Amino acid sequence: MRLAFGTLAALTVLRLILAATIPLTPDETYYFLWSQHLQAGYYDAPSMVAVWMRLGTLLLGDDPLGIRLLGPISAGLGTLLLMDAGERMFPHRQAGLMAAAMLNVTLMIGAGSVIMTPDTPLIFFWTAGIAAFARLLAHENPRWWLAVGVAAGLALYSKYTAALFIAAAFIWMISDAKGRARLRTPWPWIAVIIALAIFAPNLWWNGAHGWVSYLKQGGRVAHFQPARALQFLGEFVGGQIALFTPIIFGLAVAGTWRLGRSPSAAAHLLVWLTVVPGVVFLEHVISGRVQANWPAIMYPSACLAAAALPMADLRRWLKPALGLGFALTALVYAQALAAPFPLRASADPTALQMRGFAKLAAQAAAQHPAFLTADDYATASILAFYAPKTVPVAGFDQRWHYLDFPQAGLKGQTGILVTRGPCGEEVATVTRTRDGQPIQTYRLCRFTAPASGTLLPRP
């Protein structure tokens, strides 16, 4: 255990160093804008990611480490919670230690813990909910329902998919007699009330803004693309094999299947926490693509299920699984830091997400416009973070209306629109690069502000 804690501490320090070193992604700069004015809700998601960024930047400033500070720290604390849950659900097996090790070497967590997105607090509070359930089952102390409610509420305030945690818990309870007996006590209902009370400010904000966030996220299921369902299914399954890493994916599937035949209440809870989100995402493939990060909520319970496999199977596969996972994660870290592998920059995910944005903003500002803007939120957020402070950056898209930022007062003025699409009067083209290799090309176009615009805050 001393070795495990030492390894976790070293891994957390490494992630903090990476968080301070690698450039921000466009989504991170977008959430950073949220953190400049905290609200009970936003156009895309609830508020927790903005709260976490605000805490980090208050401590360390408006730089990558401040913005990402709570990511590596929450990954470390979440690992301890997962270890505790495993030891209580499957005592005398070191299941918690093995589950924590497997979780940390998945690409989803290994790479995802370095950047800050709504999934970062979501996974932490989801894991905290599992740990609270583990203590509830181990001690049969109903007061642990209070902790379950707090964790569920904070997870909901992180991302709406946390509703699947509550759904899985209720399916788990109604699926056997002991669980139905729990529902006849007040404690599960008190937990729901606590979760809804924590989430209530977001309900209020959405009600005051036409339920825009719920309609936006709910609109993802309004499409119907059965002709592409097999493509989306292949992308979903293949992506998760890669992000779990292949051996851990196989162990997770085998472990979940085996727990489904176990009489243990803890085993059934883990099955439902894994299967319910999995079924929802599988169903989604007939509507559209499942984004790679969405299934992250399945990872803690799936790794616990893998750790509950018979010891003979784990002894055979655990070392290769950890070795492959650490190796793949190290390769991703190295590529993000220094790009030592000869991937074409335009096809390298780390370059596409992180490289060349500061120079792009400087080149756009060099046109001496009255203001800068973009036709997508990600580019506008990047411009707001990196462009010289002497050039205002404004947003004209509908989503900016839901941020309580000052009006820019730019109606009728001419600025520069940064776009990757066609435009009217093109001034120049600029190419985002990494070490001289082209990544993406943008058009700089004259743009007359049709309205006052929203002034985007700067670091």
pLDDT in tens, 269-313: 999 999 999 999 998 888 888 888 999 999 999 999 999 999 888
Exposed, middle or buried: residue 305 (CB in 10 Å: 0-12, 13-18, 19+)? Answer: buried
Dihedral over alpha carbons 49, 55, 56, 62 (to 10 degrees)? 90
Radius of gyration of the chain (CA): 23
340: left (phi over 0), alpha (psi -120 to 50) or beta: alpha
368 and 318 housed in the same domain: no
Give per-residue pLDDT as tens, 61-104: 999 999 999 999 999 999 999 999 999 999 877 899 999 999 99
Residue 222 has pLDDT above 60, yes or no: no
- Nearest CA to 364 out of 426, 438, 417, 434 is that of 417
Residue 25 CB burial class (10 angstroms; 0-12, 13-18, ≥19)? buried
Domain stops at, among 311, 338, 365: 338
- For residue 445, list its beta bridge partners: 417, 426
CA distances from 248 to 242, 272, 299, 396, 443 (A): 10, 19, 10, 45, 44
Pair (222, 84) in one structural domain: yes
CB atoms near residue 37 (< 10 Å): 14
* Same domain, residue pair 253 and 367: no
- Per-residue model confidence as pLDDT tens digits over 24-47: 999 999 999 999 999 999 999 999
Q: Is residue 121 part of a domain?
A: yes
Can you give the pLDDT at residue 398?
87
Which helix (H) or strand (E) segment holds residue 301: the answer is helix 299-307
DSSP 400: G
**pLDDT per residue as tens digits for the range 353-376:** 999 999 999 999 999 899 999 999
Average pLDDT, the chain: 94
User: For a pLDDT cut of 70, what percent of the chain falls above it?
Assistant: 99
- What are the tens digits of pLDDT across the range 159-177? 999 999 999 999 999 998 9
| 372 falls within a domain | yes
Q: Is the pLDDT of residue 22 over 80?
A: yes
Is residue 162 one of the residues assigned to a domain? yes
Considering the domain architecture, whether residues 221 and 312 belong to the same structural domain is answered as yes
Q: With contact defined as beta carbons under 8 Å apart, do 340 and 415 qualify? A: no
In a domain, 318, yes or no: yes
Tell me whether residue 345 is in a domain: no
Residues 83 and 186 in one domain: yes
Instruction: Based on the fold, state whether residues 135 and 247 are members of the same structural domain.
Output: yes
Based on the domain organization, do 274 and 403 belong to the same domain? no
41 shares a domain with 174: yes
Count of domains forming the chain? 2
* Burial environment of residue 124 by CB neighbours within 10 A (0 to 12, 13 to 18, 19 or more): buried
pLDDT band at 223 (very low <50, low <70, confident <90, very high): low
274 with 220, same domain? Answer: yes
226 within some domain: yes
Contact predicate 182/190, CB 8 Å? no
Amino acid at 129: G
Q: Verify that 166 and 231 share a domain, yes or no.
A: yes
Are both 306 and 392 inside the same structural domain? no
Domain that holds residue 61: 2-338
Q: What letters, b where the CB count within 10 A reaches 16 and e where it falls short, cover 374-411? A: bbebbbbbbbbbbbeeebbbbbbeebbebbebeebebe
| 3-class state of residue 292 by DSSP | coil
Q: Looking at the structure, do residues 380 and 312 belong to the same domain, yes or no?
A: no
